Amino acid sequence: MRLPIFDNKEKFTQTTSYYVAYIAFGLMAALSGPTLPELASHTRSRLDQISWIFTARALGYMLGSFFGGRLYDHRPGHPVVATVLLISATALILAPLIPLLWLLISIMLMLGIAEGVLDVGGNSLLIWVHGAKVGPFMNGLHFFFGLGAFISPIIIAQVILVTGDIVWAYWMLAILMVPIAFWILRTPSPVPHKASEDNNSPNAKPLLVALITLFYFTFIGIEAGFGNWLYTYATRLELTNEVTGAYLTSAFWGAFTAGRLLSIPLAIRFRPRTLLISDLVGCFFSIGVILFWSHSIQALWFGAIGIGLSQASLFPIMLAWAERRIALTGRINGFFFMGTGAGGMFFPWFIGQLIEPIGPQAVMYVILFEIIATSVILGVLLFYAPHPVRALGMSQVDKREYDQVMG
């Protein structure tokens, strides 16, 4: 099957610019963790104090998602993306130089707002470019985010090895943002989708939007909770040492990135609902292996790689599923990403509260709960909105005709 992106130069340019921006986004998203000790040293803070930058960044992401979604509905998208990339570059230049913790927290709040606006924009704009055929392109977008997040720690390690500090790690990324911003600024913005005013349209059903938002809230806990606490789980149970524990975490994110790459051809061939169900079945099987053979490091490696592969495409595939049922305006996408931000902030914190009283096993118990909750929500969604309709407010169409048109 020949993808339509190669038949349209403007679509090709737009899509490529989003992919490059998302590599930078992934690099930026994974930057704080490996540089946390150095940031603490720069601000003369303890690790428990410097960890507030994650909360500030997550809060900023939620605010950016909420207001950014509305912004894209009323303004050309590419100038907005270019602006937040330049704001991100400014924040990255300042962050490693700041000697005061409260000021660094403020910078991270600003960076989180920019990331929220960028994330809503990248997904919304890609949907507006490709419409109902967005599935493989959406998986490609999130693959490039994962690629950036995967290589970020490697780049940071090499920069520190050469320079002895983290400053140039931040500055190199900031410099990268500038040409990307000007490239996107010179590219025509796609036309936003508008919600239908037809009362029979699925857009008139806020319950559908609320359920998808809840899906993202619980699903993101699988990614954020597992990725952030896998190392602690493995080392606290003495299944491995610190070095191998770091490699285990890298294996999870490597599998996550590979899963997004593999999902691109799968999204061309299979319907979103098929992929969503298959992903969650893979998550169940993987967490089952970890829990059933809880004292086996081999089982943990297998389960970590399995969860990384299985849940990698849940985020973009759900957007593709939703696009067939709702006119995905920036405002609606903003709600989805608020759910993502809230889940990414809540579940890692919640797991941390349980580790001391329950033990490291709490990590996998919470992950299992999140998989079950996400599956239940998906079941309700498939029952509530089982048939696709045209996203621009048309009434229900014949399913066979729709699938033929959509490929």
Write the CB contacts of 74 (distance below 8 Å, at least 6 apart in sequence).
none
- Tell the residue number behind the tokens 């992919």, with chain if given: 19
Among residues 195, 248, 220, the alpha carbon closest in space to that of 336 is found at 220
- Tell the residue number behind the tokens 């797991």, with chain if given: 351
Query: What confidence score (pLDDT) does residue 199 get?
Result: 39
d(CA 407, CA 405): 6
What CATH architecture does domain 8-192 belong to?
Up-down Bundle (1.20)
E-only strand ranges, 36-82: none
The shares of helix, strand and coil residues in the chain, as percent rounded to the nearest 5, are 85, 0, 15
Burial class for 25, CB neighbours closer than 10 Å (0-12, 13-18, 19+)? buried
Query: What confidence score (pLDDT) does residue 86 get?
Result: 96
Token pair of 154 as six digits: 């490697």
- Residues 178-214: b if buried by 16+ CB within 10 A, e if exposed: eebbebbbebebbebbebbeeeebbbeeeebbebbbb
Domains 8-192 and 197-407 share a fold: yes
Q: How many CB atoms lie within 10 A of CB 56?
A: 19
pLDDT tens, N- to C-terminus, the chain (407 residues): 444 444 578 888 899 999 999 999 988 887 776 676 778 888 988 766 777 887 788 889 888 988 887 888 888 889 999 999 999 999 999 999 999 999 999 999 999 999 999 998 988 898 888 876 777 788 788 888 888 877 877 787 778 778 888 898 899 999 999 999 999 999 999 887 654 444 344 444 788 888 999 999 998 888 878 877 787 788 788 787 766 766 777 788 788 888 888 888 887 788 888 899 999 999 999 999 999 998 888 999 999 999 999 888 888 888 888 877 777 777 788 888 888 888 877 887 787 778 778 888 888 999 999 999 999 999 998 887 766 654 444 434 334 443 433 33
What top-level class would CATH report for the domain 197-407? mainly alpha
d(CA 243, CA 187): 45
Query: What confidence score (pLDDT) does residue 204 get?
Result: 42
Token pair of 353 as six digits: 């509260």
Sequence ranges of the domains in the chain? 8-192, 197-407
Q: Is the whole-model pTM more than 0.75? A: no
d(CA 241, CA 238): 7
